Structure 1
Amino acid sequence: MMGVFLPGTWETNTGADETRAVGLLAPVATTLAERYGGDFEFRFPAYAAAAFDGMAYGDSKDTGVAAARRVIGDAATRCPATKFVLAGYSQGADAMGDVAASAGCSGDPVSADRVLAVGLIADPRQGTAGGKLVGPQVDGQGIAGPRDSGFCALSAVTAEICATGDKYCATNATENPITAGIGQALTQAGVEHNDLASALTTDLSTADITELPTAVEQLGSTSGTELGSATKTVTDSLGSLAALGNWVEDNPSARARLDQAADGTAEKAAAGILDGLRESNIGAALDSLAQVGLRLAETHAADTAAATAAQAADSVTPLTDAVTSTESETIAQAAQVLAVLKPSVVFDQLMNVVDHGLEFAVDIPALVDALNRMLGVLGDPATDIPGKVRALHGVIGEVNTLFEPLVALADGVDLHTVSRLIAMIPDTTGTAQVASILVGLLANLDVKQLASQVGRLQENVWALAETIAAGGDLLAIGARLLEFAPTALGFATLAVQTLTGESTTSSDTTSTDIASAARTLVASAGGGQDGADAVGQLLSEGLEAVEFLLSGVHQDYGNYVVDSDGRTAVVWLTDWFSNRIRQVVVVR
């Protein structure tokens, strides 16, 4: 008998020892091995088990399918009498479920009569025809949708376990169409065809942070082939880390999140790595390492290569110090934190845009009205100086307040990127597309400059109002107002044109303007603030679901009780596999 157990995301890697039990399913394998001794053998296929940390989920899953098929196929060919139990958790369940469906429906990579049982925990394709749900009922199917083929001949022996509330394996597509759509989009293979996945991926696949200090030390103490190997390792790691470091510098909220973490945590260690990265001269190190490669290829240049390598090592001392000053286990956890930092921050930014963007969309009619009133006050010859100042004092205050959601929306956010991501949300209602257009239009505004101009205008008019209240010279105030008026007039005119698409110099209007996009966005959910709230809920639902998918967070299946006997998912699966083995196989 052989048990093939496919681990979940980050529980294994392509270089793992396949004879070693790892992750959630490890107790199942080791307990069966203890019960049946030499009659039972297990394997944990080594595959990428990644998600947005150098490889898109769908591509990683494909490596899991290939690894499982290889292990099962080789054993089936080598030992024609061997029977199998197959299991997978999370991403591993996704891949192993596909393998089981293939075996049940086509006999590949092994015929169905040789498979004793299939157990899938937290399968994103839960709901596939033939699979039997064990434990409490859940609402909906897996986030990636069920397999079209079903399990065919393996239906009677395929068990699915999904915890209540685990969106990964239980999403109601009718009530949550966005969640289901995003899940299906993100679980597809092929990063080149999946812009949403690639936009959220941080490529740290070549960055071995825990081994970096050793490789850097070798730069100054080895030569020849060993120096070449160390040079490649350090170059690959520094290149990946530098790209992440540059992104963090452009996104202060990412760094703030890590800085707020408690001492001794993986998040704090990740902040220390970023500190060391910033304090190191990565550019100089990479230049030196490139020279090392050239020198190693030259005859009689070994000494020069070694000296240049030592310079590279000196350039990254702050980074290596940050790594060596922390326990290796914490550094490994910190590397995982850095791997998912980008998607988690991007989704925070998306939620910020959703929250404040909808507020701004609702306020745009009032903003346009306030700007037009501002133009009217400035151009009204019948209003005296004190009247103009009082009116401007009020209306510019309104404009400033109405611009606040836009300032909050754009704070530290790349709106062009957010616009593209929103556009990728699968949404048959068209709401996401309209929201994307609106955010894209707002991305073309210099929001900081806009806010600064409003602030200066408000300060100027307040100063004029205070001077009037203090009994100042009206002629002097009038002169200052004349100086102030062109700036205020130009700002208000440009703002109205930008928001509405209208132009005083041309009869043409832009095909889509901010005000029109805002009206469409609000109207698509019924209009008014209630409509905006409904749109916000729709987008939030989708984004929260993706954040759940990216985080890899599932219920604690090691403690999740599935039956009246109090057995957990892991214990139940172990007992069920054992019972199936006893029923079908004569054990020595």
Structure 2
Amino acid sequence: MADPPVSTQPPATRHRRVSRSGCCAALAATALAAAFAPGVATGHPIDAASTFNLFIPGTWETDASADPAQETGALRPIADRIRHDHGDSAVVYFLPYVARAFDNGESYGSSKATAVANAAQVLRAFADDHPGARFTITGYSQGADAAGDLAAAIGNGLGPVAADAVLAVALLADPRAGTSGETTVGPRPDGVGIADPRPQGMGSLVGRVSSICDPDDLYCSIDKRRNPFLGQLGTALGKTADEATVAADEAATFATTIASIDVVGIVRGFESLPRAIADGDLQAAHEISGDLNGRLRPLVTLADAVDFEQIATVLALIPDKTGFTAAASVLARALAHVDFMKAADLVGRIQEVTWSAVGPVAVRAGAKTLPDSTPTTPADLAHLGRELASMASRVISPSAKADTEMAVVAPDLSSMATSVTEISARYAITNPRTLIHDAVSARDFYEGDSHNRYGSFIVDDQGRNAITWFADWISGRIAGA
């Protein structure tokens, strides 16, 4: 997984995403200015502050319009402890950002990129106004993902503040746990974060970054070879976990590819081509078959590369609040009932024959317009016409097997494809692969409660839980500065 630059917005190809991220950054800047106003939000004079303590909440714990002076979520007790121990000398700031994952059209990657960008802006602004300030950065879950990326950038000289100004970075349930240069506190997880460790490491911040992860928490400790959802998927498919991993990736490839194919245009081609042949308009038949051939090519390639029935099964198992994977599953199951190799071959033959229909033979065949001429027979054309009519009916309305629910959702291929397109537009799904990978990961996270019980997760022989340990450590780092 590539690390997003800390000073950039999400990819420019996601126009709606960029606009939303820009809005979030602007809101963060406004909130920052409000928090720094004397007597407003912080409750103490900012000029007296010696530390700026940035907290980045986890998924669904905040939003883009949240008040940064209001502690929230799992990190709240740590912030309360800092306020209690250090009073006016410590600014506490809870970062407003989207904090979503695969719902409301917002992918996890886009949401985290917003958090990194907003956090970088907030830190840079405070450092510019308070040159001698020191910083702590604390994140939970998605917030730890963003905080860790920010820390890695700072430690490698690419961040918004100097590394020597950072006192402590606390990462709770970091999806990129296992990054070189961080100190693991408490029981050591068997795996690494679901998003993989940061390859550049923590750089010069080594010794100042602490990470806590419950070994049972799949956000921050997962052996991908033993992924529970992939195990379940493997059972459903009759495959090993490794093969199920490949199947899930193929489902993501299918969803991305099918979203770019004009399935509705293909259906219309199969509706109009038989009519053109029946009317004897071979010029139109040639043009339609040429266009249809081009539209079919990526679908033929896809059909040759994946098993549509298996794809349908995988997509049906994936949790997704938008309904995209369910609609794509129905479409995949319908496509499994169409022989696209044969359909493409038939269309190609029609394209050839319509170029060769000439003179009296073409007239006897009922032709009204004539392309370039080479001999053919009426029987050739009649045979292709019958084949095409049969194939077209199977493309336009694929016959569902008795054990499928395909026809319940949509009566024809065009309607199925339109459902996928409409859901994509409604939820601004521009990268189906990301949505599917996020959803696959989310299925595992919902299986247990380890991710939400850090207040009772004991990490040392003094009996301190994760929250208390971080509160003690950060407060001690501030006191010793």
Q: TM-score, with normalisation over the residues of structure 2?
A: 0.48
Q: TM-score, with normalisation over the residues of structure 1?
A: 0.40
Structure whose CA Rg is larger: 1
